Structure 1
């Protein structure tokens, strides 16, 4: 019960704080929140050497999951790295952590930059099926949270509870190094 209260408090605090941490004006999206949530069950992710990641199975393994769209060119993504290092030092296996290139075409650059942080997690990209499968392309647009101008707002975080349900989608930088957020990520 304590874990649920801590996680619920974390998510509520995250949403309230995340809105305050978004840089710039809110961006209109061409996809709905429900489409974004559903995309986590439909998206194909691949890592190094095109090794697939079964995100659905990962989200169903009984641990909470953070899926974070990340980019080497994104100042807010880079600013979050100190907090992710704190999580890696305190409790690297408490959550499933999945980082995804915000643009598949930047995967090599994102991977190179991501490796410089020495984090225990990997970075993935959206699979090539989006180039030939219309449904997969639609899921990818939803997963990226496509904006009205066709862009992507980074970072974008999907917080998925241990039950596999998407508890929150947070657009913008989160300061994961704040004591209450780090405690929420490490609570049992």
Structure 2
């Protein structure tokens, strides 16, 4: 097990909004071949997004975290819905390719099913490398302390990623129990916290010494 993550930067993130429109109709009076079911279409689209991530493995990540059916009813074929797409990759060129694939795949599925689909950008955060000297300070601190380590790109958005665009920045990661982070059930072990703070202290002292 690794005790310390030497964070080299934050990965690229793109959020997209998807609108799928078909035709609302009665569940009991509309034959299956005549339906333009927005939800069945969206289900196929979402499955396609999961397979898209495999094409960009291991760094490529796709997530659909929200789905909303307009005027939903138990006995109504969904005619309009919206869902979100979260794309992530270490490299800007690859996340650009992922977005283009999203648009192509969703349009193809919509055309096959007689649906219309609109993909709109919601938020873009480019890949953000951390300051090389600050990262070196963290790396030197870990090396001096002899803790088990690995170089890592931050998967989540952090304040440090925003700060890195304005001032020299680095981060130190420690393990979460069971690998679960950014969750109410997240937990850490005292020994991991101690080692992480050791690294942080020594990295700050090294950086302060460089500034003098």
TM-score range, shorter chain: under 0.3
Higher Rg of the two aligned structures? 2
Bigger proportion of residues as strand: 2
Bigger proportion of residues as helix: 1
TM-score by length of 1: 0.27
TM-score by length of 2: 0.25
